[in-house]
Amino acid sequence: MNIIGPDLLVFGVDDVDACRQFASDYGLTARGEHRFVALDGTGIEIRSKHDDELPAAMETGTMLRKTVYGVADQATVDAIAAELEKDRDVTRFDDGSIESKDDHGFVLGFQVTVRQVLDMPAETINAPGAPAQRGVNQIAVTKEDSPKPRTLSHVVYFVPDAPKQEAFYRDRLGFVTTDRFTHVGPFMRPAGTQDHHTVFFIQTPPHMKGIEHFTFHMGGPTDVVTAGTNMVNKGYQSFWGPGRHIFGSNWFWYFKSPFGCNMEFDADMDLHDEQWAAREAMPGADNSQVFLLQYREKWAPMGPPPPKAGA
């Protein structure tokens, strides 16, 4: 199955205005009445939880109503439909996309991907012993920098049976497990991407089933820290970060959001192919991040105070 990754997350929310403001402040661009998108066209859809066009809400009340995956071509959409129709209902739409559910009842959509190929520079560094990536007289940052999310990266779900969920995504949709936390769950990527993961399942009690967080890729660690600082300055609550994960190696900074889950900035994720052997580690702080930083307000060293008059 040539699934590339998530194209769209559809939410039914309590406070549409707050979610729209959060999405805008996060750096997404409004496209129409409901969509907010990253630079490549992937994004989120924000609707009132009472909107009749939404799939039915889960019994747990999670605000995520649907995850839409982008695939390489219509033949892949049709192959997924044929596979899922073996044991569950599949709805086909006029635009060629389909809709069904996974084994935990999360609504899934599949469509020919909307993501556009980006041609943009990444963050560069100059390091002793290596050729300069940033030439002479080329500066790295300015005070006016306003980084934009580039593409929808991954989604993390709370599920009551992580092995069952892993089996469905592996056996029915062709996802590969790249790493796992023991007794917690797997990081997985679909066949159409080499990103370390586009999904992570966390084992939880049934009443917690839903979305834990989602994130967009940024252009580098400086983008993550700059965008996160902008969010703090706008009054949003930092949840975790900035820091750098071990599994995936991605830089991160998470914020509390009005979507009923956390929302993350990430950058510089590992890439893997079929030669990669999945690792496993016990959950815990030492295995979750290489380091974790704490935001502080800006500061500058000051010189000695001026002499007093008449001294």
Pick the CATH number of 3-116+148-292 from 3.40.50.2300, 3.10.180.10, 1.10.4190.10, 3.40.50.300: 3.10.180.10
User: pLDDT tens-digit profile of 230-251?
Assistant: 999 999 999 999 999 999 999 9
| pTM summary value | 0.95
Structural Rg of the chain based on CA atoms: 21
Give me the pLDDT at residue 310, please. 64
d(CA 189, CA 166): 11
pLDDT of residue 87: 97
Identify the DSSP state of 83.
H
pLDDT at residue 252 tops 60: yes
For residue 138 the two structure tokens come to 């080329």
- Reported residue count of the chain is 311
Helices 16-26 and 221-233 pack at an angle, to 10 degrees, of 140
How many other C-beta atoms lie within 10 A of the C-beta of residue 228? 25
3-class SS of residue 67: strand
CA distances from 119 to 153, 219, 226 (A): 17, 12, 21
The predicted pLDDT at position 306 comes to 74
- pLDDT digit string (tens) for 177-197? 999 999 999 999 999 999 999
Q: 23: how many CB neighbours lie within 10 A of its CB?
A: 24
Q: How many CA atoms lie within 13 A of 235 on its CB side?
A: 3
Q: Please tell me which residue, 15 or 143, carries the higher pLDDT value.
A: 15
Given this model, what pLDDT does residue 59 score? 96
Across the beta sheet with 35-37, the strand order is: 29-31, 35-37, 43-48, 3-13, 64-71, 107-112, 98-101, 91-92
Query: What local confidence, expressed as pLDDT, does residue 47 receive?
Result: 98
Band of residue 303 on the pLDDT scale cut at 50, 70, 90: confident
How sure is the predictor about 302, in pLDDT bands with cuts at 50, 70 and 90? confident
Q: Helix or strand or coil: residue 135? A: coil
Q: Would the pLDDT of 308 be above 80?
A: no
User: What does the pLDDT look like over 121-130, one tens digit per residue?
Assistant: 999 999 999 9
204-216 pLDDT per residue, tens = 999 999 999 999 9
Domain limits, the chain: 3-116+148-292
Average pLDDT of the chain to the nearest whole number:
96
Q: What is the reported pLDDT for 311?
A: 56
Q: Which tens digit of pLDDT belongs to each residue from 43-81?
A: 999 999 999 999 999 999 999 999 999 999 999 999 999
